[in-house]
Amino acid sequence: MSSPDPINVSIIMPVWNGARFMDRAIASVVAQTSPNWELLIVDDGSTDDSVARAERWQDLVNVHFGEEKIRVFSTGLSRSGEQTGRNLAAEKARYEIFAYLDHDDLCFPRRIESLLPLFDQYDFIFSPYEILEKGRITIWNIRALWERQSYNCSSEGEREPPFEAWVRSSLQRVNLSVPLGVAHRKEIFERAGGFQPGIIVGTDGILWRRMADRGARIGSCPVIAGRYNVRSDSQARTRRPFSTGGFELDKNHPLGPNGQYLDAEWFADLEKKRKGKETE
């Protein structure tokens, strides 16, 4: 009897002018304890030598492994946004599991190894990660947050609400993780419509919620995924990674000062529920 095909992970890395940081990021993928990965690097019109560095890594690593482990693509645009790069990589991905790594972050060595057994049960997995900001490292762990907020326990000691129900509810209000701390099935990504281009802040949280709304089975991994770097010169990283905060680009927006970031489908559903209550 033949053994089942191994689970492999497509790691998605959008890049824009990442030459200062990307060598360490790519090296952290190559150093994985599991070989079950491919790395898709998508350049978004960089004006530094990001593409040359990516292609150099591609040549070296692919020769070393004797297979196509790293592939390099371009959006063909100039700074169109990480969402565009991630969506393009998703189209090119060969594997059924997606994980994410930005060009200035790091994967820890067991990132891929720790995920593989969990996809027998789940479609979407949160992992804790380190946050490096102004020389200080903290840990973001949503399972620990759930444990602190779940005060009621059954007679068997189980917390209420269960983790998955708590996540689904929380995602309606906040973004629980940056992409580094997330992995999921390709199929649920496609059902949710991928990342929404044109939204400057919060598009990842919108996608996580849309996946949950479409029935993704949600779990957690105890192994720290990697290190998320908060830099002062990166707009998206000036917010707390687990917040819904944005930048007030349109104070007159009908949905409020951050309305340009919000998901029209979610608000349409909210309005539908509100009208339903009024007619009761």
User: How many CB atoms neighbour CB 215 within 10 A?
Assistant: 10
Cα distance between residue 14 and residue 19, in whole Å: 12
At a CB cut-off of 8 Å and minimum separation 6, what does 190 contact? 90
Cα distance between residue 241 and residue 179, in whole Å: 9
Give the per-residue pLDDT at 199: 74
Does the residue 80 lie in any domain? yes
Quote the domain boundaries for residue 171. 9-247
Interhelix angle 264-278/203-213, nearest 10 degrees = 50
Q: Is the peptide bond before 6 cis (omega within 30 degrees of 0)?
A: no
Does the residue 263 lie in any domain? no
Cross-strand partners of 202: none
Does the residue 103 lie in any domain? yes
Give the per-residue pLDDT at 153: 64
Give the per-residue pLDDT at 247: 31
What's the number of domains the chain is made of?
Answer: 1
Could you give the maximum distance between any two Cα atoms of the chain, in Å?
Answer: 67
CB 170 within 8 A of CB 176: yes
Cα distance between residue 234 and residue 172, in whole Å: 26
Give the per-residue pLDDT at 2: 40
Q: Which of 25, 238, 15 is nearest to 133 (CA)?
A: 238
Does the residue 75 lie in any domain? yes
Cross-strand partners of 12: 40, 100
DSSP assignment of 73-109, as one string?
EE-SSSS--HHHHHHHHHHH--SSEEEE--TT-EE-T
Does the residue 173 lie in any domain? yes
At a CB cut-off of 8 Å and minimum separation 6, what does 213 contact? 168, 192
Going residue by residue through the chain (280 aa), what tens digit of pLDDT does each one get?
A: 344 567 999 999 999 999 999 999 999 999 999 999 999 999 999 999 999 999 999 999 999 999 999 999 999 999 999 999 999 999 999 999 999 999 999 999 999 999 999 999 999 999 999 999 999 999 999 999 998 887 666 666 677 789 999 999 999 999 999 999 999 999 999 999 999 987 767 899 999 999 999 999 999 999 999 999 998 765 445 444 443 333 333 344 444 444 434 444 544 555 566 566 666 6
H helices present in the chain, as ranges: 22-30, 50-65, 82-92, 111-115, 142-149, 163-171, 186-192, 203-213, 264-278
Does the residue 101 lie in any domain? yes
Does the residue 46 lie in any domain? yes
Cα distance between residue 121 and residue 46, in whole Å: 39
Q: What tokens does 38 get?
A: 């491919």
CB 95 within 8 A of CB 108: no
Give the per-residue pLDDT at 227: 97
CATH, residue 208 = 3.90.550.10
Ramachandran bin of 249, using left for φ above 0, alpha for ψ from -120 to 50, beta for the remaining angles: alpha
Q: Which of 181, 97, 107, 102 is nearest to 144 (CA)?
A: 181
Does the residue 253 lie in any domain? no
| CA atoms in the 13 A half-sphere facing the CB of 156 | 3
Cα distance between residue 266 and residue 268, in whole Å: 5
